[in-house]
Structure formats: structure tokens, C-alpha cells
Amino acid sequence: MYRLALGTGLLAVLFAGAIFGFFYAWICSTMWGLDAADPRIAIAAMQAMNASVRNATFAPAFFGTPLVLALAGLISLVAAQRAAGVSFFVAALTYALGGMALTILVNVPMNQELAGIPVPEDLKEAATLWRSYSEPWQLWNQTRTVFSGLALLLAATGLVLLGRNQHRA
């Protein structure tokens, strides 16, 4: 059972790292690049990216992360690795509430609203629209990135706790 706990713990870290990296990339490159572009281009590009993200490559990391973290927690508990199990469960809760729920409740509605707006031809109008979208979207993206990073840290902690076990099977 210990080896299964270790394997699911590794998978949990991989999933948590994937979603953290996805959100983090928006902070350190994507949004800065869009903010520097012509706002008409930025709006159209964001609309296209938001439409394309709903795919089979993204879905496992976004929806699967809390499940894999919780599974790692459950298997760790069954393997008598209480501290690791608790760490994985707290990671699952942290991501589910601070990453996934925040995305569903805040970022997705903002994206849907932007998707329904035609790109303004007027540069000033486009700049105003982009700013009113980009600034709050980035704040909430930074928030979900912090929570996702905490979930990754908790998952890594769970894995370290499993690795320190003296009674390996």
C-alpha cells in the first residue's frame, strides 16, 4: 500500500504542478504581452484563447487535480501515513476552493462576458474595454495562482512526508 501511496502522491504533485504552471504562465507572460499589444488585438486574442482552453488536454489538470489530490490523501491514510494524507487532503481543498471554484465563479463569467462583446474598431473604446477586463481578471488570476501554488506546496509536503517513512513496504 505504501508504494501505491507514493505513486499517487507523485501523480498528485504532477497534476498540482500542471495547473499551477498554467495559471502562473498567464501572470508572467500572457497577460503582460496582451497588455502591451493593441487592445483590439488583445481582446480578439483573449477571446480566442478562452474559447480554445476548453479541451481534452486542459480538462484533466483543471478538473482532475482535486480528485487526484484527494485520492493521494485517501491512499496515504489507508497506508497509515496520516500526516501525508492530511497534507494531500488540505491540498485538494485548497485547490478546489481557491483555484477551481474561483475560476468557475469569477474568471469564467468574465471570459464569457468578454466573448459576447464584439471587438471595438475604435482604439480608445477598445483600450477602455480591455483595461476594464484585464485589471480585475489579472487580480483574480493571481489569487487563484497563489492558491494553486499552495496546493502544489501541500502536495509536495505530502510526498516528502511519505518519503520520510521508515516502514516502507
Give the pTM.
0.91
Domain residue ranges of the chain, discontinuous segments joined by +: 2-163
What sign results for the dihedral spanned by CA atoms 129, 131, 135, 138? Answer: positive
Q: Which of 155, 148, 140, 109 is nearest to 22 (CA)?
A: 148
- pLDDT by residue (tens digit) across 56-95? 999 999 999 999 999 999 999 999 999 999 999 999 999 9
Site of grid cell 487535480: 65
Task: Check if the beta carbon of residue 151 is closer than 8 Å to that of residue 95.
Answer: yes
pLDDT in tens, 8-33: 999 999 999 999 999 999 999 999 99
Three-state DSSP class for residue 117? coil
